[in-house]
């Protein structure tokens, strides 16, 4: 049974917080912190997306064995896999991504992402928020000092009132006791802006999200009668101007909107998809999670993050080649290729930004356990849809895929690009937990994704 999970376990220092900080954690002080929003004259210089699906390979997918292969390097670098040609002349990917190879005309590969961290938690925060983790250190767990994830930034600056959340993360929560991965929530903006966290197995017949379903004996007429009664009681209440009551009213209105609008609840009914569509994605967690992601953006959810596997699933320090070819790459290849094809056939790809990425790359040299270790200086990502010019390789790395030799792009730049594509000014000013004005993002928009430039120049 799927459930919407609260992210409360992320707060590890609650007992040490001041009263003001505790109010922020509860969301009660947010009206004091909230800005007027982004600048009125913000004019995005890149094509606009209605939504984004981030396919996140938690643990870090090996770029050198998938999207940036080096077949002429020494064996201890190139590994066991061979590259194959794609639907675009001159572009090659791993032989274990055959379906994606046939769809290269739908996406572009960016091979020169780079940052300075080799730690899972800090790097995950960086990629999922577009900002370095405040006070980051090795294995620093999530806290409310963290930067907000993309959906939280969008919800804060472009709040919705239609019962549709700004973000949904699925199908796992990245947590491995005692560590909780940062970057999965709204950070210092407060839990009011957290994305929905769905924990479940969409591939199972019993998968449901019951919190969006009216309980037995309650229909929409009775629901609206109760809403009217609450409004009447609220108007006569002596607490109607109280901050806590105001927040409760907001939560109640959101709940009523969700229950009255069937769009969101229907989106989670993956079992209603035709068997042929489900089979196209694959009857496994990777495939059905991406099918659910498509259904959610179709219902109007702006940002969906689909975690490909449990935490650190792609952290292959040993036996990497058997693990990739037997367990990880086949379902990823099937699921992502089905997603791109399905979005395209439904006319949704032109308005949906798709990003396939991990938190860093893997070391060029194979270690003595037959695996690859953490490598932040160079990694690759796949971009498709929403105006991204397809069929290109952007950026060039050295002969062993260790470092970019053309312009390197950071997770900050990724964040600037995502926000801008979604109509959010990445330089909007928000306030952190100390009430200091800070820019939401300080990266540079990756215009290269949208410009017809020399692919090697990056």
In sign, the C-alpha dihedral spanning 191, 195, 198, 199 is negative
pLDDT value for 37: 59
What per-residue confidence (pLDDT) applies to 331?
A: 98
Question: What integer pLDDT is reported at residue 17 of this predicted model?
Answer: 31
Average pLDDT over residues 248-252: 50
Find the helix packing angle between 150-157 and 411-421, rounded to 10°: 40
pLDDT at 3: 55
CATH topology of domain 10-209+268-449: Alkaline Phosphatase, subunit A (3.40.720)
Averaged pLDDT, 263-273: 93
Cβ-contact 149, 181 below 8 angstroms? no
- Quote the pLDDT of residue 213: 52
361's enclosing H/E stretch is strand 361-362
Is the model more confident about 244 or about 144?
144
> Any idea which of 71-80, 224-233, 346-355 has the lowest mean pLDDT?
224-233
451: confidence class by pLDDT, cuts 50, 70, 90: very high
Q: Residue 342's pLDDT is what?
A: 98
Is pLDDT of 252 > 60?
no
DSSP state, residue 324: I
Average pLDDT over residues 134-148: 96
Residue 4 has pLDDT above 80, yes or no: no
Cα(332)–Cα(338) distance, integer angstroms: 10
Identify which has the larger pLDDT, 265 or 388: 388
pLDDT one-digit tens code per residue, 312-339: 999 999 999 999 999 999 999 999 999 9
- Given a contact cutoff of 8 angstroms between Cβ atoms, the answer to whether 91 and 394 are in contact is no
Determine the average pLDDT of the residues in 44-67. 97
pLDDT tens figures, 82-135: 999 999 999 999 999 999 999 999 999 999 999 999 999 999 999 999 999 999
90 Cβ neighbours under 8 A, 6+ residues apart: 393
Contact 397, 423 (CB under 8 A): no
Tell me the pTM: 0.85
pLDDT for the residue 220: 47
pLDDT at residue 226 greater than cutoff 70 = no
With residues binned 3-state (H G I as helix, E B as strand, rest as coil), the percentages for the chain, rounded to 5, are 35, 15, 50
**Mean pLDDT, residues 35-55 taken together:** 84
**Position with higher pLDDT, 254 vs 120:** 120
Q: How many angstroms separate the CA atoms of 369 and 329, rounded? A: 20
Phi and psi at residue 381, to the nearest 5° = -145, 155
pLDDT of residue 222: 55
Beta strands in 7-71 (DSSP E): 51-56
Q: Where are the domains of the chain?
A: 10-209+268-449, 219-261
What is the rounded distance in angstroms from the CA atom of residue 406 to the CA atom of residue 314? 27
Q: How far apart are CA 152 and CA 74, in angstroms?
A: 45
Burial of 179 (0-12, 13-18, 19+ CB in 10 A): middle
pLDDT in tens, 282-312: 999 999 999 999 999 999 999 999 999 999 9
pLDDT digits over 402-440, tens only?
Answer: 999 999 999 999 999 999 999 999 999 999 989 999 999
What residues contact residue 443 under an 8 Å CB cut-off, 6+ apart?
130, 410, 411, 412, 413, 414, 415, 416, 417, 426
Separation of alpha carbons 379 and 114, rounded Å = 6
Beta bridge partners of 437: 431
Average the pLDDT over each of 92-96, 195-199, 253-257 and give the range with the smallest value: 253-257
Average pLDDT value for the chain = 86
Percentage of residues in the chain having pLDDT higher than 70: 79
Average pLDDT over residues 21-50: 59
More confident of the two residues 246 and 384: 384
What is the reported pLDDT for 70? 98
* pLDDT of 251 over the 70 cut: no
Determine the pLDDT at residue 177: 83
């Amino acid at each position: 049974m799927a459930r919407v999970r609260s992210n409360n376990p992320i707060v590890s220092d609650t007992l040490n917080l001041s009263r003001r900080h505790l109010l922020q954690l509860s969301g009660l002080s947010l009206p004091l912190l909230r800005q007027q929003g982004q600048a009125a004259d913000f004019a995005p210089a890149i094509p606009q997306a209605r939504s984004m699906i981030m396919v996140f390979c938690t643990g870090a997918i090996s770029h050198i064995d998938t999207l940036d292969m080096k077949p002429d390097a020494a064996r201890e670098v190139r590994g066991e896999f061979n590259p194959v040609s794609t639907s675009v002349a001159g572009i090659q990917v791993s032989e274990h991504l055959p379906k994606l190879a046939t769809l290269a005309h739908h996406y572009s590969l960016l091979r020169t992402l780079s940052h300075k961290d080799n730690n899972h938690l800090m790097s995950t925060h960086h990629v999922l928020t577009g900002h370095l983790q405040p006070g980051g250190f090795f294995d620093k767990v999530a806290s409310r000092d963290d930067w907000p994830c993309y959906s939280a930034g969008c919800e804060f600056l472009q709040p919705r009132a239609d019962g549709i959340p700004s973000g949904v993360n699925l199908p796992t929560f990245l947590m491995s006791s005692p560590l909780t991965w940062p970057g999965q929530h709204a950070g210092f903006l407060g839990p009011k802006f957290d994305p929905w966290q769905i924990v479940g197995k969409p591939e199972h017949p019993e998968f449901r999200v019951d919190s969006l379903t009216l309980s037995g004996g309650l229909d929409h007429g009775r629901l609206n009668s109760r809403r009217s009664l609450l409004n009447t009681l609220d108007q006569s209440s002596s607490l109607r101007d109280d901050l806590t009551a105001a927040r409760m009213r907001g939560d109640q209105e959101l709940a009523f909107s969700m229950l009255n609008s069937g769009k969101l609840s229907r989106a989670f009914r993956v079992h209603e998809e035709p068997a042929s569509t489900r089979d196209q994605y694959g009857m496994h967690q990777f495939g059905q999670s991406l099918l659910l992601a498509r259904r959610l953006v179709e219902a109007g959810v702006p940002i969906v993050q689909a975690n490909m596997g449990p935490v650190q699933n792609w952290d292959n320090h040993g036996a990497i080649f058997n693990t990739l070819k037997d367990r990880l790459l086949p379902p990823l290849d099937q699921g992502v290729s089905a997603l791109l094809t399905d979005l395209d056939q439904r006319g949704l790809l032109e308005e949906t930004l798709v990003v396939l990425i991990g938190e860093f790359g893997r070391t060029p040299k194979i270690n003595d356990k037959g695996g690859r270790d953490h490598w932040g200086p160079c990694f690759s990502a796949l971009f498709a849809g929403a105006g991204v010019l397809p069929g290109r390789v952007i950026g060039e790395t050295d002969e062993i895929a260790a470092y970019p030799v053309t312009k390197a792009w950071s997770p900050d730049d990724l964040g600037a690009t995502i926000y801008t594509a979604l109509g959010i000014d990445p330089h909007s000013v928000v306030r952190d937990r100390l009430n200091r004005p800070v820019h939401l993002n300080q990266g540079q928009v990756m215009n290269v994704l949208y410009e017809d430039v020399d692919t090697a120049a990056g």
